[in-house]
Chains A and B, each alone.
Chain A
Amino acid sequence: MDFFTLTLIKAGIVAAILLTTLAYLQWAERKLLAHIQLRLGPSRVGPHGLLQPLADVIKLLTKEDLLPAHVNKTLYMIAPFLAIALALIPISVVPFGPEIEVFGVNTHLQLTDLNIGLLFILAISSVGVYSVVLAGWASNNKYALLGSLRSAAQMISYELPLAVALASALLMANTLSLREIADSQAGYYLGFIPRWSVFQLPMPQIISFAVFLIAGFAETNRIPFDLPEAETELVAGFHTEYSSMKFASFFMAEYANIITMTCIATLLFLGGWHPLWPAAYGSSFVPSIVFFSGSAIALYHGLHPARPKDRYSLPAVAIAFLVAGLLFLVPALGGILTPLFWFAAKSGFLLFLFIWVRGTLPRFRYDQLMRFAWTYLFPVAMANLLVTGVLVAVFA
């Protein structure tokens, strides 16, 4: 199969999965937040509100697209487009798994491998600031302008600790290609401790992983660092004046940025698609076991239904999980799906962490936010970089 056809097919699959994940991440966030706050969350549209994302999309598409009178029209239009485009591009260099063979075609589970892959993502995300800045400025609204000023200052400040934390992980990996970074973390110490960056000798990157996560929360404007859209102070921050699909593109861009952030964290610190313990000790059976236990739980609750409709819906879920678990046991499919499972599990856990923190922590005050970045996070990241550098120079 020639290069273009293959790339088109892969791009189609990645885009479909990414957009579905974006829609359902928002559903998962609402549902999880609701449960953290002892509410039910979306539950009307479809079973457990599963069709809520679809309803939201239809609502946003059909809403009237307002154009406020005093905006700078060109920039006002460009900003949301820029936001969503720059948020979706980085996924093109993220590897999801090793080289595989499908129908006799060898291919990597990745759209393209750049030898400056990580720098590419940093470059795109550093340009992404403009979407927020321009949106706030073009709106000609004081709340929007204040929100975008805050956002720009915050993103510039937190980009430094983020980049320094990445640099110390890169010192260990010795490459900028994301595929090689993930591969440099393959293997195990003493046969069972994974060589992920957070465990790797000579300098486990636990500190830089923590710094990266904290700075990642700030870069994606999430609670506890969501000052740019602090509702109590700024209405909605930089996207106050936006409605309909323009608002939706900012919303989607935010979630796409979170997904990119978790993918980078997985690749750089958590070993990408490499399992937690070697396949010799049965790590390749984990997906099947997870799905089978899910199936058993669903079946149990289906046999002891709390509501009448559970008698039919939960056994159906159980069968779906059973089939998914069996798919992992088919030798030809297992080799492809197991790395994807580990990658999705690690990124999924980090995504859960983003939502968990949102449901748990209050918002910072603005001066606390800036002081935290410059007087605490950045020095810690620098010290970690220096220690890592010395240890790598001595031992490697």
Chain B
Amino acid sequence: MDLILFLIFAIFAVACAINLVIQRHPINSALSLIGVMGALAVLYLLLGGEFIAAAQMIVYAGAIMVLFVFVIMLLNAGAERRSSKSLLVRLLGVPLLGAFFAVLGYTVHRLLPAVDPVRFGEFTGGSPGEFGRVLFTRYLLPFEVTSALILIAILGAVVLARKEID
């Protein structure tokens, strides 16, 4: 059951990701990205990370992607035009991509140490309570540093935007 669900949603995620690149219109790409986020949330859920799954939906699929779609709608971005491809790209593009992925996969497989495969239903520490406890004790420093980083990013965005207005 877990494996079937995993395969369905993994394939769905990859299909959406490919669609994201292929689509010409930005809004279709944005919607594909939402599909990827949703499928990832289901995969987190299968692995026992309930809180992460919910956060993925609320933050990424809900908040961030709404802003993306909002901006695309506001700017009324049209469909992008394809540049005419050279003969070399048309002939060798897909095979070269396949070869690149094969080399990449092989290297990763060789260099990484052998680890136990992930098993569904094994991890049970994904409830909000346990997640919070780990986040605010063991990973407190990374958590706080990240929040400082985000604050700096927001301040930077405000400064940049103000310069443009003045």
- Interface residues, chain A, with chain B CB atoms under 8 Å away: 75, 114-116, 119-120, 122-124, 126-127, 129-130, 133-134, 136-137, 145, 148-149, 152-153, 156, 159, 176
Q: What distance in Å separates the Cβ of A86 from its nearest Cβ neighbour in chain B?
A: 11
For residue B127, CB closer than 8 A to chain A, the reply is: yes
Within 41-71 of B, Cβ neighbours of A (below 8 Å) are at: 41, 50-51, 53-55, 57-58, 61-63, 66-67, 69-70
B155 in contact (CB, < 8 A): no
Are A126 and B70 in contact, CB atoms less than 8 angstroms apart?
no
CB <8 Å contact, B70 and A152: yes
Q: Which single member of B53, B66, B73 contacts A129 (CB below 8 Å)?
A: B66
A123-B73 contact given A133-B66, A156-B67, CB 8 Å threshold: no
CA of A116 to CA of B126 in the docked complex: distance in angstroms?
Answer: 10
Give B105-145 as 1s and 0s: 1 = Cβ < 8 Å from A's Cβ atoms. 00000000000000000000001100000000000000000
Contact A126 B73 (CB under 8 A): no
Q: Looking at B53, B58, B61, B67, which has the most chain A CB atoms within 10 Å of its CB?
A: B58
| Bound-complex Cα distance A56 to B108 (A) | 62
Pair B69/A123 contact, Cβ less than 8 Å: no
Would you call B58 and A123 a contact (CB within 8 A)?
A: yes
User: Interface on chain B toward A: helix, strand, loop, or mixed SS?
Assistant: helix
Q: Does B27 contact A (CB under 8 A)?
A: yes
Number of residues on chain B facing chain A (CB within 8 A): 23
Complex formed: what's the CA distance from A130 to B57 in Å?
13
**How many angstroms from the CA of A134 to the CA of B54 in the assembled complex?**
23
Cβ-defined contact, B27 with A137, below 8 A: yes
Q: Is the CB of B128 within 8 A of A119?
A: yes
- Closest 4 interchain pairs by CB? A126-B62, A123-B57, A119-B54, A116-B54
Chain A residues in 8 Å Cβ range of B99: none
| Those of B4-44 within 8 Å (CB) of chain A | 27, 31, 34, 38, 41
Asked if B165 lies at the interface with its beta carbon under 8 angstroms from chain A, I say no
Q: Which residue of A lies closest to B51 (CB)?
A: A116
Enumerate 30 A-B pairs (CB-CB under 8 Å) in ascending A order.
A75-B27, A115-B50, A115-B128, A116-B50, A116-B53, A116-B54, A116-B128, A119-B51, A119-B55, A119-B128, A120-B54, A123-B57, A123-B62, A126-B63, A127-B34, A127-B57, A127-B62, A129-B62, A130-B69, A133-B66, A133-B69, A133-B73, A137-B27, A137-B73, A148-B73, A149-B74, A152-B66, A156-B67, A156-B70, A176-B128
With both beta carbons as reference points, the residue of chain A lying nearest to B38 in the complex is identified as A127
A119 close to B58 (CB less than 8 A): yes
| Inter-chain pairs besides A116-B127, A123-B41, A123-B61, 6 sampled, C-beta below 8 Å | A75-B27, A133-B69, A133-B73, A149-B73, A149-B74, A156-B70
A156 in contact with B66 (CB, 8 Å):
yes
Contacts of A119 in B (CB 8 A): 51, 54-55, 58, 128
CA A145 to CA B72, docked complex, whole Å? 12
